[in-house]
């Protein structure tokens, strides 16, 4: 099974549940969606893939890299402002101005907006606040390669705040605040059968909708989506 890196914890947890129920082991390999699809295209063994919904998966369905009739929109992720120092979060209905006050004067880390959908949405948020990323005179925003890179900068105190996926913010932070609701595309993941699966994927795909699996997904910071 292939999946986005930010889904690793959730997919491994569900795999453990499946093995306990059936005795069948689930092997999880993580990589960005475009790289996973390229591996499948080159003939790598894969039964199922959890991929970012969007242009790449639409094209993969047209090219028959994944089976179009098996595609299910399964999970949703969100973005969270995290920090190692406590801060008084604003009340309900957090606004852009509230976020601007929390971020102001503190070094912030985001994922690379050219490679990461979370980083792209974080960049859009910062622009709306009035923070220009990429300005050589702006030393308050650091761009990491990925959400994992943002976590590394926080752990080494090279950044005081970071914008990461909810799946990366489930524990260990004294500040964890969902980003304000703006007009942006949801971060959704589809699950689909790969081009040449070697196992029957239907039982496992049905299990993904079970109460046990949904509980594991929620514990990992995800929102399960029904058909």
CB of 136 within 8 A of CB of 106? no
Rounded CA-CA distance 125/100 in Å is 10
pLDDT at 183: 66
* Residue numbers in the chain where pLDDT is lower than 70: 88-94, 132-139, 181-183, 227
pLDDT at 227: 44
pTM for this predicted structure: 0.88
pLDDT at 34: 94
Which CATH superfamily does the domain covering 2-76+186-224 fall into?
Answer: Periplasmic binding protein-like II (3.40.190.10)
State residue 76 phi and psi, 5-degree precision.
Answer: -130, 140
**C-alpha distances out from residue 129 to 20, 70, 110, Å:** 48, 40, 15
**C-alpha distances out from residue 7 to 1, 33, 75, 79, 154, Å:** 12, 11, 10, 14, 20
What architecture is domain 79-178?
3-Layer(aba) Sandwich (3.40)
SS3 189: strand
CB of 122 within 8 A of CB of 82? no
Domain with CATH 3.40.190.10 in the chain: 2-76+186-224, 79-178
Rounded CA-CA distance 57/61 in Å is 6
- Angle between helix 8-22 and 211-219 (nearest 10): 150
pLDDT at 134: 60
């Amino acid at each position: 099974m292939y999946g986005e890196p930010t889904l690793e914890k959730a997919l491994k947890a569900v795999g453990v549940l499946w093995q306990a129920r059936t005795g069948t082991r689930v092997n999880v390999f993580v990589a960005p969606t475009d790289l996973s699809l390229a591996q499948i295209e080159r003939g790598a063994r894969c039964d199922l893939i959890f991929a970012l919904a969007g242009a790449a998966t639409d094209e993969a369905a047209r090219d028959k890299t994944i089976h179009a009739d098996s595609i299910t929109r399964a999970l949703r992720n969100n973005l969270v402002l995290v920090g190692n120092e406590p801060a008084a979060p604003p009340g309900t209905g957090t606004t852009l101005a509230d976020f601007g006050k929390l971020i102001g004067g503190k070094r912030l880390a985001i994922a690379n907006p050219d490679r990461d959908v979370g980083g792209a949405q974080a960049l859009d948020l910062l622009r709306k606040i009035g923070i220009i990323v990429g300005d050589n005179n702006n030393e308050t925003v650091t761009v990491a390669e990925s959400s994992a890179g943002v976590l590394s900068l926080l752990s080494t105190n090279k950044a005081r705040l970071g914008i990461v996926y909810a799946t990366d913010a489930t524990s260990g932070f004294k500040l964890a605040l969902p980003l304000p609701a703006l007009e942006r595309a949801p971060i959704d993941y589809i699950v689909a059968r790969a081009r040449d699966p070697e196992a029957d994927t239907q039982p496992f795909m049905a299990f993904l909708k079970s109460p046990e699996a949904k509980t594991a997904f929620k514990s990992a910071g995800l929102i399960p989506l029904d058909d």
